[in-house]
Amino acid sequence: MKQALTAVVEDICRRYGNDRTRMMDIVIAVQRRLGCISVEAMECIANAVNSHRVEVESVVTFYSFLSVKPRGKVIIRLCKDIVDWMKGYEEVADAMAKELGVTMGETTADGALTLTHTPCIGMSDQAPAALVNDVVVPNLTPERGRQVVRELRRHLDPPQLVTMLGDGNNAHPLVHAMVRNNLRRRGPVHFSDFESPAGLEAALKRSPEEVVAEVRASRLRGRGGAGFATGMKWEFARNAPGQKRYVLCNADEGEPGTFKDRVLLTERPDQMFEGMTIAGYALGSDAGIVYLRGEYAYLQAFLEHVLAERRRRGWLGQDILGRKGFNFDIRIQLGAGAYVCGEETALISSCEGLRGDPKNRPPFPAEKGYLGCPTIVNNVETFSAVSRILEKGAAWFAGMGSERTTGTKLLSICGDCRKPGVYEVPFGITARELLDLAEADNPGAMLIGGPCRQMIGPERFSGRICYDDLATGGAILIFNRARNKLEIAEHYLDFFIHESCGHCTPCRVGLVLLKKAVHKVVSGAGEPADLDYMRRLSYIISQTSRCGLGQAAPNPVLGALENFKPLYADLVSDRKRGLLSTFDLSKAVVDSELRVGRLSRYV
């Protein structure tokens, strides 16, 4: 038994060159083979890659999809994001749990099936959805949930659940998914007439410096949400001293309510890979990595196929398009369930085979990134835009959008609307126009940019989507007037607590304290001073946290406090002086009776 395990693990490690920086690939492969990464397996990996068991354990225990203990052969991960919850998550969860005879988080007695939940899997336009191992099951109902369980009991083979294939490349044999693109509006940049290698050919007509200059002239800003000028980032990395440079693509689309990169990856992978190749040329880099979130593992085989095809055509590999000495190739790094890995330095850590902890800055990635080398990290949509900018020129791109935010933006719109899906719109469009496009149903609030940004009320629906007003990485969530904004804020706070890496004190501890305060108010035990306390604590967390996650995590609460003032205010009331509102005397008496094992009064 032990020998068999050793042989399997050693073989996997060898496949990755016994290279500890490929730890993510190794542990994912071990889990796929053996069901979990046991203590014995961790010891074996540590020996093979010349590391330590506790180092392997630190990686394995960081990622939600990895496990030290055995779990079911098939794992049903029900997506528990706010949109799923609005569309009936609880009923589906109940139905599936009953059918399985387990509670949430448990495995059936025969070790066959585990039922658990997970944050947003990028299917908010077809919620409630679940991941069954790597297979996406969208549009769940309680009946469909029961049916899924019954089928799985019969064959324990998730791919057999796929009945009706989705549109476009979702029906490609290597994708074979029930996912739908819901591409509602095509625009000129991403979903138009691009054909490889038009962007790359145009790039090779210029010098690398000229390519960077072209990207600068387009005034393209990072599409992941932070909006850093892409050309400037490239220039920093290009000018940084170093032998080797890396081009990383952030396909770890994890912001709840975002799914636009999923559609780009499905329908326009060439355009994205080409943008990376152009970056490789501009920076003098020969290696790129796409960090693909674990939730999108179902796209991996297809993306590998597209890469192989590009190599075959001479668009990747040695002497690309016949240009002597221009060598560039791309590998895909799969993630394993960690929102924080969308933060660029955490993404780099994960690619290096480490815990997905963000890194301290300075140094910045452009100077010292992946394996200590100058590195750029850009979003899927950013690379996709780069291909078009080189093909059609910076002026063409800069002619679209608003003055300070050029080009178009892909938005994933979901929630209370009739037409959830992906929309390519020019920057500068108003929130109200989006509500009309998506046919929103009695909208009372919008979350522009997901929970890491702020929730706005109707008085701000006239705001414009751009970096100077309503900034977004792509998520647009619509809530009707009946939705409880405070519950939504509390839900997202739970999400951030779950996804915090735990490195710095304010994020690790502060968020738990904030959650206590919010819960106290929402449960009706709050006093007016609690609102000030929540504001102050939120401010301390956002100011002193190390990375963007902690800095943004209080936003759902702050947004609800600032933009929906009466909601919290109505819940709090002045208590009698000296009376601690959270102290429940009768409950305390019962608790102490239980502890001492006798009644406190004689009856």
Partner 1 sequence: MATITFTIDGKPVSGQPGQSILKAAQAAGIYIPRLCAFKDLIPHGSCRICSVRVNGRIQAACVQTISDGMVVENDTPEILEFRKAILDMLFVEGNHYCMFCEKSGLCELQALAYRFGITAPQFPLLNPNRPIDLSHPDVYLDHNRCILCGRCVRVSQELDNKNVFQFVGRGYQKRLQVNGEALAATGLRVADRVTASCPVGALMKKRVGYAVPVGERPFDHQPISAEWHAKQEA
The CA distances from residue 46 to 29, 167, 182, 333, 349, in Å, are 15, 44, 45, 20, 18
Among 16, 62, 194, 383, binds partner 1 (CB under 8 A): 62
Identity of the residue, 194 or 496, whose beta carbon is nearer to partner 1 in the bound complex: 496
Q: Is 332 helix (H, G, I), strand (E, B) or coil?
A: strand
Among 336, 338, 377, 534, binds partner 1 (CB under 8 A): 338
Among 502, 529, 588, 589, binds partner 1 (CB under 8 A): 502
Identity of the residue, 24 or 385, whose beta carbon is nearer to partner 1 in the bound complex: 24
Is residue 264 within 8 A of residue 190, CB to CB? The reply is yes
Identity of the residue, 108 or 581, whose beta carbon is nearer to partner 1 in the bound complex: 581
The reply to whether 36 sits near partner 1 by the rule CB under 8 A is no
Is residue 330 within 8 A of residue 373, CB to CB? The reply is no
* Nearest CA among 67, 55, 63 for reference residue 31: 67
Instruction: Give residue 96's Cα distance to chain centre.
Output: 25
The reply to whether 268 sits near partner 1 by the rule CB under 8 A is no
Q: How far apart are CA 581 and CA 570, in angstroms?
A: 16
Which x/- pattern, by CB under 8 A, does the window 543-562 give for partner 1?
A: xxxx----------------
Residues in the interface with partner 1 (CB under 8 A) total: 38
Which H helix or E strand runs over 534? helix 528-544
Is residue 185 within 8 A of residue 308, CB to CB? The reply is no
Identity of the residue, 31 or 500, whose beta carbon is nearer to partner 1 in the bound complex: 500
Q: Which of residues 367-426 bind partner 1 (CB under 8 A)?
A: none
Strands 287-292 and 246-251: parallel
The reply to whether 430 sits near partner 1 by the rule CB under 8 A is no
The reply to whether 505 sits near partner 1 by the rule CB under 8 A is yes
- Longest Cα–Cα distance of the chain, Å, equals 95
Q: Amino acid identity, residue 403?
A: E
Shortest spacing between CB 355 and partner 1, in angstroms: 7
The reply to whether 540 sits near partner 1 by the rule CB under 8 A is yes
Is residue 476 within 8 A of residue 422, CB to CB? The reply is no
Shortest spacing between CB 485 and partner 1, in angstroms: 25
Shortest spacing between CB 353 and partner 1, in angstroms: 14
Among 126, 285, 500, 555, binds partner 1 (CB under 8 A): 500
Is residue 13 within 8 A of residue 41, CB to CB? The reply is no
Which x/- pattern, by CB under 8 A, does the window 511-530 give for partner 1?
A: xxx--x--------------
Identity of the residue, 318 or 523, whose beta carbon is nearer to partner 1 in the bound complex: 523
Q: Specify the stretch interacting with partner 1 by CB under 8 A; choose among 47-55, 162-170, 316-324, 564-572.
A: 47-55
To 10 degrees, what angle do helices 39-48 and 53-60 make?
A: 120
Q: Specify the stretch interacting with partner 1 by CB under 8 A; choose among 302-310, 325-333, 357-365, 454-462.
A: 357-365
* Sheet (strand 74-79) strand order: 113-118, 74-79, 130-132, 135-137
Q: Specify the stretch interacting with partner 1 by CB under 8 A; choose among 13-21, 249-257, 360-368, 371-379.
A: 360-368
Q: Specify the stretch interacting with partner 1 by CB under 8 A; choose among 16-24, 48-56, 372-380, 440-448.
A: 48-56
Q: Give the per-residue SS3 of 352-408.
A: CCCCCCCCCCCCCCCCCCHHHCCEEEEEHHHHHHHHHHHHHCHHHHHCCECCCCECE
Count of CB atoms situated within 10 Å of the CB of 375: 30
Identity of the residue, 339 or 467, whose beta carbon is nearer to partner 1 in the bound complex: 339
Q: How far apart are CA 113 and CA 35, in angstroms?
A: 12
Shortest spacing between CB 17 and partner 1, in angstroms: 21
Among 40, 57, 433, 562, binds partner 1 (CB under 8 A): 57
The reply to whether 575 sits near partner 1 by the rule CB under 8 A is no
Is residue 541 within 8 A of residue 548, CB to CB? The reply is no
Q: Which residues bind partner 1 (CB under 8 A)?
A: 52-55, 57-58, 61-62, 338, 340, 355-356, 360-362, 497-506, 508-513, 516, 537, 540, 543-546
